[in-house]
Structure 1
Amino acid sequence: MSAASGATKPCADCLRGYRLEGGPKGKMEELDGVSYYLAEGPKGDKERAIVLASDLFGFGLPNTKLVADWFAENTGLSVFVPDLFEGDYIDTSVIQSQLDAVEEPMKEKTFFGRIAAKAGFIWAILRYIGPEWLRRHSPARAKYLTVKLSTSLKEKLGYQRLGLVGYCFGGSIAVWLAAADSPIDVSVCFHPSRLTLQDFEAIRKPFMLVCAEEDMSFDGMKPFALAALDKVRSKHSIPVQVWDDNAGTTHGFGCRPNMKRADVRESYEKSNARTKAWFEEHL
């Protein structure tokens, strides 16, 4: 789905609510009307920074802030996380039974178990999230907020280069802002939501894609996206890296990993390390 297409429905795994341990170390601030979480980098670098585009939960779960803290500490760069949902977050407590039903990969469920999990997901979307919430927080609106903050970081705060890492809902933003007409210079996308082939064909910035082993939201598009990225690399000489070796993972593992599973924990940790290395090389 393109940025102009309006609201998109999250897949079942978008609603998984695994929480990372610990408490956020940063602070909330505002720039040009956009509220954001700031994880300050210890290096004090005022020329380079990272923007993080969150998943569907936004600041409704602590994970987004904790991931930002990790990147700030390990890259030395400040990380800015725009509030894509403008204070209006999904209440995970009201969909806990649906979250429990989709905690494990679908391939580990019986046929009827898969049907029950998906049916429960649809019911939860209709009753507890609803079309009005999805309309208020469309991909187009989230993209606008990310672009506005990123532009202000360059024009008002003087940053010269910006890297973007996006997850799920924010992963789509990471693809869109890897296009030529963007304030972002380097992009990393974790398991994006629905996109079009044209979205991938438009990439013109160094781009890294991190795939889940099983992804209800992206698996149908993946072969076409990978072919498009090969063309971007060969035809336009754009640095492109794809990681598709994340055992045990489903859509959402990059920001909501089930750390009780050793394979998921390993995939989560190596993906963070690879993202750090990508920014060190290209940002």
Structure 2
Amino acid sequence: MATETTDDKLDACCLTEYRPLPGIPSGQMIKIADIDTYYISGKDQTSKGKTIVLLTDIFGLTKNIRIIADEVSEKSGFDVYVPDLLRGDAIHSSLMKNMPEESGEKMSISARLRYAGNLVTSLAPWLFRHRQSVSLPLVQKFFQTLRSEKGVTKIEAVGYCFGGLYALLAGGPLHLADAIVGCHVSLTNKTHFEQLEVPAAFACAQEDNQFSDSLRAEAEQILARKSELPSKFLMTKGTAHGFASRPNPDNHVTMAAFKQANDLIAEWAKTHL
């Protein structure tokens, strides 16, 4: 059952977003399946029952993903939900500082050392706390509750980086989603693409150490063989990992790609739900 919620941790996280997108989120926080969730109601009353669920990156339910939800809802007309699957235990988005914004950019030696240190001290323990055996049951519970309690009949699962894995899993044998979109996905392998059973689109960075050229090419080949299954790979020029969820508002290259990703999410939902 959905109820209103006020979560100081989530509000503070939203306010302290590193390099925030412009605008003020216009949705509301509710609880679904005991999971704090950002919700924005779609304007297309004829599409009620069809919804888009955004699965966040490691930075959780910050301002940016709420702005994205608002924009995707505006473009598609659908209701959009963003569950806090991290339960308030997000990595702060300042980790993006000094990370490449565009393809071809290189990190300085000092930035590489700091990032390596963060991997050991923060990210590795965090990934263990949010391993698949912990996170997947939350995804299942959330999607099932949407259908049983909110009257949802069709779902597009959209995953960013960490959330991309769960979008893929939702579109596989678990039968949680009816279509998926992955944005610079991570933690995936060819098996996740082989097991897809629903229309799948991907917004890809030109350079992405989380979703390599070789894995992307293999994924394209796998889905091309599934002739009955619509698929699309959008390659965004000049981009690096994170462009679809953490673009620099002052960088016209990443912002153009960010808009492309949002358009893809909306159009894929309107076409395949």
In structure 1, C-alpha distance between the alignment counterparts of 2:263 and 2:89, rounded to whole Å: 31
In structure 2, C-alpha distance between the alignment counterparts of 1:75 and 1:51, rounded to whole Å: 13
| Preserved contact between residue 183 and residue 202 of structure 2 (Cα < 8 Å) | yes
* Deviations 1:2-28 (CA, angstroms, capped at 9, x unpaired): xxxxxxxxxxxxxx9442112211111
| Preserved contact between residue 102 and residue 254 of structure 2 (Cα < 8 Å) | no
Aligned partner of 1:62 in structure 2 is: 63
* TM-score after normalising by structure 2: 0.86
Aligned with 1:206 (options 160, 175, 199): 199
Q: Does 1:221 align with 2:215?
A: yes
Q: RMSD of aligned C-alpha atoms? A: 2.0
Aligned with 2:48 (options 35, 39, 46): 46
Q: How does 1:11-50 map to 2 (within 5 A)?
A: 17-44=18-45, 45-50=47-52
Shift, 1:125, TM fit? 2.6
| Preserved contact between residue 55 and residue 166 of structure 2 (Cα < 8 Å) | yes
In structure 2, C-alpha distance between the alignment counterparts of 1:190 and 1:92, rounded to whole Å: 17
Q: SS where residue 24 of structure 2 aligns? A: coil
Q: Quick one: structure 1 residues 114 and 214, their matched pair in 2 at CA, closer, same or farther if it must change by over 3 Å?
A: farther
Q: SS where residue 80 of structure 1 aligns? A: strand
| Preserved contact between residue 22 and residue 249 of structure 2 (Cα < 8 Å) | no
Q: Does 1:268 align with 2:258?
A: yes
* TM-score after normalising by structure 1: 0.83
Q: Quick one: structure 1 residues 165 and 92, their matched pair in 2 at CA, closer, same or farther if it must change by over 3 Å?
A: closer
* Deviations 1:132-176 (CA, angstroms, capped at 9, x unpaired): 332222244333222211111111222111111111111111111
Shift, 1:92, TM fit? 4.0
| Preserved contact between residue 82 and residue 145 of structure 1 (Cα < 8 Å) | no
Aligned with 1:101 (options 88, 98, 102): 98
In structure 2, C-alpha distance between the alignment counterparts of 1:218 and 1:173, rounded to whole Å: 15
Amino acid at match of 2:234: W
Shift, 1:229, TM fit? 1.6
Q: SS where residue 26 of structure 2 aligns? A: coil
Q: How does 1:98-177 map to 2 (within 5 A)?
A: 99-105=96-102, 107-109=104-106, 113=107, 115-127=109-121, 129-177=122-170
The structure with more strand, counted as a fraction of residues = 2
Q: Quick one: structure 1 residues 115 and 277, their matched pair in 2 at CA, closer, same or farther if it must change by over 3 Å?
A: same
Shift, 1:115, TM fit? 4.7
Q: SS where residue 233 of structure 2 aligns? A: strand
In structure 1, C-alpha distance between the alignment counterparts of 2:124 and 2:257, rounded to whole Å: 33
Q: Does 1:252 align with 2:252?
A: no
In structure 2, C-alpha distance between the alignment counterparts of 1:74 and 1:106, rounded to whole Å: 28
* Deviations 1:78-121 (CA, angstroms, capped at 9, x unpaired): 1111101101222345x5xxx33214446233xxx455433321
* Deviations 1:189-226 (CA, angstroms, capped at 9, x unpaired): 11101212111101110110111011011114222222
In structure 1, C-alpha distance between the alignment counterparts of 2:263 and 2:92, rounded to whole Å: 31
Shift, 1:46, TM fit? 3.0
Q: SS where residue 211 of structure 1 aligns? A: strand
Q: SS where residue 242 of structure 1 aligns? A: strand
Structure 1 unaligned blocks of 5 or more: 1-15
| Preserved contact between residue 200 and residue 232 of structure 2 (Cα < 8 Å) | yes
* Deviations 1:46-89 (CA, angstroms, capped at 9, x unpaired): 31111110111012x31111111111122111111110110122
The range that moved more, 153-162 or 198-207, is 153-162
Identity of aligned residues (%): 30
Query: How many residues were matched structurally?
Result: 255
Amino acid at match of 1:242: F
